[in-house]
Amino acid sequence: MMKKGILFILVVVVISTAVMSYASNNASMTLQIGNTTATVYGKQAVLDAAPVIIDGRTMVPIRFIAESLDCIVDWDAENKAVTILQYKNFGVSGAVSEGVSENNFGKRIILQIGKNAVAVDDITYDTVTTYQKGFDLLKSTNAVQIDAAPVIINGRTLVPIRVIAENLNCKVDWDAQNKTVTIIPVYYGEGTARLSD
């Protein structure tokens, strides 16, 4: 009788571990340095720029990452600034036609090419991002110093992944042996940072 009980517990533990591992792997995004293929929600996706390492920091294409996390991305070419808008309670696909109200809120993340800073603030749906000519993120009152500045490589904006992912409520895991970075959305209250299919 004791052996059957122990065997039952072992089977439950093994099955639970397998299910959690499967769920964890499928609710994540994995990118590899130098590779333009990523795995998002267990499916293969093609990036328009491969992740790279610059001065020991993993840099990834921001539009792919942000849109995969259901964020809106805006590029200001004149000031070389990128804005990421993450709304709780709805994603990009629902932003135009459904779920839009003053009750939706989230985060705004602003980065500027060549500037070692990021500005993150809370927003409401009607928050508008505008830049004046000569905008300088380093002079922003809510800018925080970061250790790697965004860059443009072959016409694509690459940003330090850890700063972006963590500000978008994600966990970041680095596998040095395989040179892969895994981004895992984390629950944060009413809404969840989630990966788009």
> Could you list the pLDDT tens digit for every one of the 197 residues in the chain?
666 655 555 544 444 443 343 334 467 899 999 999 999 989 999 999 999 999 999 999 999 999 888 888 989 888 899 988 887 654 433 333 344 444 556 788 889 999 988 888 776 655 555 555 565 656 666 778 888 999 999 999 999 998 888 888 899 999 999 999 999 988 544 444 444 44
pTM (predicted TM-score): 0.70
Query: Is 6 within a domain?
Result: no
Q: Name the residue type at position 84.
A: I
Domain count, the chain: 1
Tokens of 135: 């905008």
The H-or-E segment that residue 38 falls in is: strand 37-40
Query: Is 21 within a domain?
Result: no
Query: Is 3 within a domain?
Result: no
| CATH number, domain with residue 152 | 3.30.457.10
Query: Is 108 within a domain?
Result: yes
Residues 28 and 186: their CA atoms lie apart, in Å, by: 10
The H-or-E segment that residue 16 falls in is: helix 2-26
Task: Give the domain extent around 44.
Answer: 27-192
Query: Is 47 within a domain?
Result: yes
